[in-house]
């Protein structure tokens, strides 16, 4: 039997909504499991990415850890896929791009309504925030893009079956949504 | 005898004075566009209607139709150019569809869908633009303005001249004809055509945004090339 196709997934500055939508494949997940296995992913709890065929990345890039994880995926995945609105254009988290970072932190942790024990988190374990939220293609080369907030399970199915079966992935009109 | 030109191998009849886009629309052939509207004089700014006329690049919305022209519109090369133009429109402003009331009814988005545009390709500007929520019935979100000037032309025809474009290049912006610069102090009313003509979500009628749920909107299931491309996409006030 041929080796299974290895897929890694992660969520950077995302909400895990794209992962939830992926799980909406429901019983098709069983068909998928016949031909693929998962490497690093919230579905497996594997912490670092090994050599993979496909990397699916949800969310944009908002902090230093996101940059490292994204580069790890690019290094290890033959085909890297930006999944969902945030990965494509920053999405909702990018709304902070119009406000100075200091002002964001001040509002969230010092002056905001209902803040108790006001202090800006500075634990060395916390990744540093980037000045702005960026889409993935501004950091590394991305091979394919799946738009949508989130992309529907049908988008994942069409894309993955095309790719696995050796066709150039194509999304028909009904599957292309930016919302 | 009727005069005609050749568009992608198809004969298109025209009358003197018609542009290529007008003649194509009359014949039911879609050429992508955002700043063109049949009710207003052409502006030629969005460049989506770029076609090749006898081997030369022209805007179909401003170029007069002429006997025997060889016009190419639906070629891979031109569709790729249009995709790049649309991507540039997306990164130049702040077009975050999931949070926009106009999603599904937006012509900018619909053109992206039509061109099978799956990403924005270019680095994002994330320009800091404002929001004018001062008017009781109309919202103006500068983040989504693509400077097509349809509101400018419509408001002029409404007899009010509420809108104008000011500045150049990256400093270009939509300005309001009122002493305060705010929409609430202008002559704009929600019944004006200018309040309904915006192809994106820059000018929205308040309290109508989610009357039609996402999934049942104009371009959710039908391409902009398949339906009346020049219909107003903002609902009537209070409808």
Secondary structure letter of residue A2 according to DSSP: P
Q: Output the pLDDT for position A65.
A: 97
> For the domain that residue B13 is a member of, what is the CATH number?
3.10.20.740
| Integer Cα distance of B41 and A167 in angstroms | 46
Per the document, the length of chain B is 239
Distances in whole angstroms, Cα of residue B104 to Cα of each of B45, B99, B121, B172: 24, 12, 22, 27
Q: Provide the CATH number for the domain around residue A140.
A: 3.40.50.700
Q: Is the pLDDT at A129 greater than 50, yes or no?
A: yes
Contact B120 A135 (CB under 8 A): yes
B40 touches chain A (CB under 8 A): no
Q: Express each pLDDT in A27-86 by its tens digit.
A: 999 999 999 999 999 999 899 999 999 999 999 999 999 999 999 999 999 999 999 999
Closest chain A CA to residue B143: A98
Residues B54-71 pLDDT 10s: 999 999 999 999 999 999
Distance CA B75, CA B89 (A): 21
Domain membership flag for residue A110: no
pLDDT band at B237 (very low <50, low <70, confident <90, very high): low
CA B141/CA A95 separation, integer angstroms: 14
| Residue B226 resides in a domain | no
* Per-residue pLDDT tens over the stretch B182-236: 999 999 999 999 999 999 999 999 999 999 999 999 999 999 999 876 777 777 6
Average pLDDT value for residue range A154-168: 97
User: B113 vs A95: CB contact, 8 Å cut-off?
Assistant: no
CB contacts < 8 A, A to B, total: 70
* Tokens, residue B51: 């076609």
Query: How many domains is chain B built from?
Result: 2
Rounded CA-CA distance B79/B87 in Å is 12
Q: Among B23, B57, B74, where does a domain finish? A: B74
In a domain, B221, yes or no: no
Contact, B160 vs B188, CB < 8 A? yes
Residue at A86 is within a domain: yes
Tens of pLDDT, residue by residue over B155-191, are 999 999 999 999 998 889 999 999 999 999 999 999 9
For residue A2, is pLDDT > 80? no
Contacts B126 to A, Cβ<8 Å: 90, 94, 97-98, 132
Determine, for residues B113 and A142 on separate chains, whether the beta-carbon distance falls below 8 Å. Answer: no
In chain A, what residues touch B100 (CB-CB under 8 Å)?
Answer: 179
Residues of B with Cβ-Cβ distance to A177 under 8 angstroms: 113, 220
| pLDDT score recorded for residue B239 | 46
Whether residue A151 lies inside any domain: the answer is: yes
- Asked if residue A125 is part of any domain, the answer here is no
CA distance linking residue A44 with residue A8, whole number of Å: 9
Q: Is residue B223 part of a domain?
A: no
Residues contacting residue B200 through CB under 8 Å, at least 6 positions apart: B95, B102, B106, B107, B108, B109, B144, B145, B146
pLDDT of residue B229: 67
Instruction: Write down the residue that tokens 């119009």 correspond to.
Output: A98
C-alpha to C-alpha distances, A22 to A42, A171, B236, nearest whole angstrom? 12, 16, 38
Number of Cβ within 10 Å of residue A134's Cβ equals 25
Q: Tell me, yes or no, whether B128 and B189 share the same domain.
A: yes
Q: How far apart are CA B72 and CA B82, in angstroms?
A: 13
- Listed in sequence order, the residues at least 6 apart from A103 whose beta carbon sits closer than 8 Å to its beta carbon are none
- Taking residues B65-80, what's their average pLDDT? 98
Rounded to whole angstroms, how far apart are CA atoms B231 and B74? 22
Q: Residue A104 falls within a domain, yes or no?
A: no
* Residue A96 CA, distance from chain mean position: 18
Do B86 and B191 share a structural domain? yes
- How far does the CA of residue A91 sit from the closest CA of chain B (Å)? 6
Which residue, of B74, B89, B111, is where some domain finishes? B74
Say yes or no: B172 contacts chain A, CB-CB below 8 A. Answer: no
Count: domains in chain A: 1
Neighboring chain A residues of B128 at a CB cutoff of 8 Å = 98
Report ipTM for this prediction: 0.94
Tell me, yes or no, whether B232 lies in a domain: no
Task: Kindly state whether residues B167 and B103 are assigned to the same domain.
Answer: yes
pLDDT confidence of residue A1: 57
Q: Do B98 and A142 touch (CB under 8 A)?
A: no
Q: For residues B174 and B99, what is the distance between their CA atoms, to the nearest angstrom? A: 22
- Tokens 């989610």, located at residue: B210
Q: Does residue A1 or residue B229 have the better pLDDT?
A: B229
Q: Is residue B111 part of a domain?
A: yes
- Identify the domain containing residue A46 by its residue range: 5-97+131-168
In-domain check, residue A126? no
> Could you say which of A138, A174, A176 has the minimum Cβ distance to residue B118?
A176
Judge if B44 and B110 occupy the same domain: no
**Which residue's entry shows tokens 């049949």?**
B38
B83 and B66 inside one domain: no
Average pLDDT, stretch A101-122?
95
The closest alpha carbon to B230, from B24, B27, B34, B78, belongs to B34
Q: Residue B200 is part of which domain span? A: 79-205
Residues of chain A in Cβ contact (below 8 Å) with chain B: 82, 85, 88-92, 94-95, 97-98, 132, 134-135, 137-138, 142, 144-147, 149, 171, 173-174, 176-179
Answer whether B126 sits within 8 Å of A95, measured CB to CB: no
| CA distance linking residue B30 with residue B32, whole number of Å | 6
- Considering only CB atoms, B128 lies closest to which of A98, A138, A177, namely A98
What's the pLDDT score for residue B234?
A: 76
**Three-class SS of residue A57?**
strand
Q: Which two tokens stand for residue B237?
A: 């006030």
Which stretches of chain B are assigned E, i.e. beta strand? 3-7, 10-14, 50-53, 56-59, 70-72, 131-132, 138-141, 163-166, 173-176, 203-205
Asked if residue A31 belongs to a domain, the reply is yes
Whether A106 is in a domain gets the answer: no
Interhelix angle B76-92/B107-114, nearest 10 degrees: 140
Among residues B43, B74, B105, the one where a domain terminates is: B74
Is B220 in a helix, a strand, or coil? coil
* Mean pLDDT score of chain B: 95
The overall average pLDDT reported for chain A is: 96
Q: Are residues B172 and B70 in the same domain?
A: no
How far is Cα B154 from Cα B189, in angstroms, rounded to an integer?
13
CA atoms in the 13 A half-sphere facing the CB of B56: 4
Are B221 and A95 in contact (CB < 8 Å)?
Answer: no
**Which residue, among B149, B133, B148, has the nearest Cα to B101 in the 3D structure?**
B133
The reported pLDDT for the residue numbered B155 is: 98
Mean pLDDT, range A148-153, rounded to an integer:
98
Q: In whole angstroms, what separates CA A42 from the centre of its chain?
A: 11
CA distance A118 to chain B (A): 28
Both tokens of residue B71?
Answer: 């016009």
- How many residues in chain A? 179
Q: Is the pLDDT of residue B18 over 90?
A: yes
């Amino acid at each position: 039997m041929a080796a299974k196709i290895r897929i890694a997934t992660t969520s950077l500055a995302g909400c895990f909504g794209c992962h939830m939508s992926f799980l909406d494949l429901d019983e098709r997940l069983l068909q998928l499991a016949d031909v693929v296995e998962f490497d690093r992913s919230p579905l497996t709890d594997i912490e670092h990415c090994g050599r993979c065929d496909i990397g699916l990345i949800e969310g944009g890039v908002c902090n230093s850890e996101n940059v490292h994880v994204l580069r790890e995926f690019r290094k290890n995945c033959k085909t890297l896929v930006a999944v969902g609105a945030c990965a494509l254009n920053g999405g909702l988290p990018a709304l902070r791009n119009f406000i100075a970072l200091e002002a964001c932190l001040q509002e969230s942790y010092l002056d905001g309504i209902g803040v108790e024990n006001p202090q800006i988190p500075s634990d060395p374990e916390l990744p540093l925030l980037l000045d702005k939220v960026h889409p993935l293609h501004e950091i590394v080369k991305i091979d394919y893009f799946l738009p949508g907030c989130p992309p529907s399970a049908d988008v994942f199915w069409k894309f993955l079956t095309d790719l696995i079966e050796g066709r150039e992935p194509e999304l028909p009109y009904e599957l292309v949504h930016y919302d | 005898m009727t005069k005609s030109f050749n568009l992608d191998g198809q004969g298109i009849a025209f009358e003197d004075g018609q542009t290529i886009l007008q003649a194509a629309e009359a014949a039911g052939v879609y050429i992508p566009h955002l700043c063109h509207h049949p009710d207003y004089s052409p502006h030629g700014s969005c460049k989506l209607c770029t076609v090749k006329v006898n081997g030369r690049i022209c805007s179909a919305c401003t170029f007069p139709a002429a006997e025997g022209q060889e016009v190419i519109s639906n070629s891979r090369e031109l569709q790729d150019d249009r995709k790049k133009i649309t991507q540039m429109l997306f990164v130049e402003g702040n077009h975050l569809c999931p949070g926009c009331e106009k999603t599904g009814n937006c012509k900018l988005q619909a053109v992206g869908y039509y061109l099978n545009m799956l990403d924005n390709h270019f680095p994002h500007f994330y320009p800091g633009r404002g929001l004018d929520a001062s008017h009781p019935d109309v919202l103006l979100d500068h983040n989504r303005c693509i400077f097509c000037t349809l509101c400018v032309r419509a408001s002029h025809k409404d007899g009010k001249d509420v809108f104008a474009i000011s500045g150049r290049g990256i400093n270009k912006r939509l300005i309001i004809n009122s002493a305060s610069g705010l929409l609430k102090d202008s002559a704009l009313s929600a019944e004006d055509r200018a309040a309904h003509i915006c192809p994106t979500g820059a000018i929205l009628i308040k309290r109508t945004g989610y009357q039609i749920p996402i999934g049942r909107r104009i371009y959710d299931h039908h391409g902009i090339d398949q339906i009346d491309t020049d219909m107003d996409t903002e609902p009537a006030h209070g409808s």
